[in-house]
Every structure is written in structure tokens, then in C-alpha cells.
Structure 1
């Protein structure tokens, strides 16, 4: 069996609909990352793997978008520990949820493990779409700048120091 499994005892919340102070959100995410880092068992396997994050909680979240958002900090830390970007095509992220005490079960599988085999079979039936280079990621040519219009002469006479900074004086200090 090719699998690493460990549990992170943190509570996850859906942050997409939560109205809270940004520092409170930062503190919660930092705690989730720190807990994942402390419990990380290490990794020495191949780069192609499946990571299943199972959210344990008393209530279920919408699995379409709220479940991945609630576990974003855990995913980021697992990807960092693997020394990969979490958007890397080398890792397949799978989400699940179950009832229980608040925690997140992290499973890494590869090779002949049943989880990895199930994901490969699912991908054979409906392969994930290939990565698309978006406009945000594509290099852009610099914008052509419009030439600046010449400054208009002031409608009223300048006073104070502004009058001294005009071209009305010659280098010798005499008025032209």
C-alpha cells in the first residue's frame, strides 16, 4: 500500500460568505498551516500523487465550492511541504467530508494504492481539461503611452514662490 495518512485537529469554515476582520481570517489560516506543518510526517515518494482532504465536522458544506475554500490553508501547506505549487498538474486534489469531531484527514496516495487507482480510473472516463494559459498568466506587451498634452498657462497670475519658478527670469536674475 502506497499511502501516507495523518489527521490535523483544526476546525475549517467557509470563508467565502463570512464577514470578518482580515486579521481574524489571517490568524485562523496561520493556525491551520502551523498545525499541518507540525503533524507533517514527511514525504519521499514520487511526484505523481493524489491528495484527499476529508473534512470532519458536525455539519456538511456544499461540496462544489465551499468545501475546497474551507480547506485552502491545509491544501497550501501540504503543497508547500511537497515543494510544489498547489495548482501543479503533478498533484490531484480530491475533497471529501464526514461527520465527526472537527478535523481534517489528509491522505497522500500513489502507485497501486486504491485511492490513486480510483482517481486514475475516473480520469480515464472523463479526463480533466488541459491547463489553459489565461490572460493573467500570459506575458503582456507594454502599453503604448499617449504623449502628454502641453501644460496650459495659468489663468491667473502666480503668487509667492510659484512666481519665482517660472521661466520669466533669466539666468542672470533679471527679467526678460
Structure 2
């Protein structure tokens, strides 16, 4: 049986590798981002099982799209919190992380998690 969960989190992400900020300001920003993602994920009644595929999609209203490494850096706090919610480390090989971005009117992060209990994760 395939389980698919999708949530949208109202969160503005920044390209962490390019932000020049004090280490304490960075720690506060990461804590806020993880808190926002955790609050929304904790409302989901059923946590998907691993192995799974997790899509992290950054949504922003303007500017250029981020390149691949900056996109991953911008989504690091969200990835860490999703992994905590799934009950494993974000480096766990049973989780395949997929990144995307789109333009929209409002800032946000979309988290989609697709798991398959039959050891074969759909793409």
C-alpha cells in the first residue's frame, strides 16, 4: 500500500551558503525554520514508513531560482526536521531526497512524502 502525504508550510527560506550572518543569528533562523516545519508535520495523523521518497519544494514569489547546491542549503533545516519526524537521520539511505522549486505569490515550503510498504518506492 502506498502512502502519500503532502503539506505546505508558510516559510521563507534563504540560500544559507550565501547568507552572511552571525553564527547566533543563523542558529535562531534554523531553529525558527525547524519549528515551523515541525509544527505543521506534527498535525499529520499518520507518519509514513521508510523506505520513502521525500520531495522538498521551495516556493518563492520573485528573484532568480537557486542552483542545486544553494537549493539544498536553503532546505537543510526542513530536511533535518522531516527526518526527525520520520524517526531517522537525514543521511539514512532508505530515504531518497528530491528537491524542486517554483514561483508563486507567497513564500512556502512543500513537503511530499511517498512511502511503499512493499520495499519498492515509487518514483
TM-score by length of 2: 0.85
Unaligned stretches of 5+ residues in structure 1: 119-176
CA distance change for structure 1 residues 32 and 42 in 2, over 3 Å: closer, same or farther? farther
CA distance in structure 1 between the partners assigned to 2:96 and 2:22 by the alignment = 32
Counterpart in the other structure of 2:116: 111
Counterpart in the other structure of 1:2: 3
Counterpart in the other structure of 1:54: 57
More strand by percentage: 2
CA distance in structure 2 between the partners assigned to 1:4 and 1:22 by the alignment = 34
* Higher RCO (Cα < 8 Å, 6 or more apart): 2
Residue 66 of structure 1: how far off its partner (Å)? 0.5
Q: Secondary structure at the match of 2:87?
A: coil
Native 8 Å contact 2:15 2:73 kept in 1: yes
Residue 28 of structure 1: how far off its partner (Å)? 1.0
CA distance change for structure 1 residues 10 and 45 in 2, over 3 Å: closer, same or farther? closer
Native 8 Å contact 2:47 2:86 kept in 1: no
CA distance change for structure 1 residues 42 and 81 in 2, over 3 Å: closer, same or farther? farther
Residue 38 of structure 1: how far off its partner (Å)? 0.8
Unaligned stretches of 5+ residues in structure 2: none
Counterpart in the other structure of 1:16: 17
* Backbone CA RMSD of aligned residues: 1.6
Residue 42 of structure 1: how far off its partner (Å)? 4.2
Q: Which runs of 4+ in 1 moved over 2 A?
A: 42-46
Native 8 Å contact 1:43 1:82 kept in 2: no
More helix by percentage: 2
CA distance in structure 2 between the partners assigned to 1:42 and 1:72 by the alignment = 24
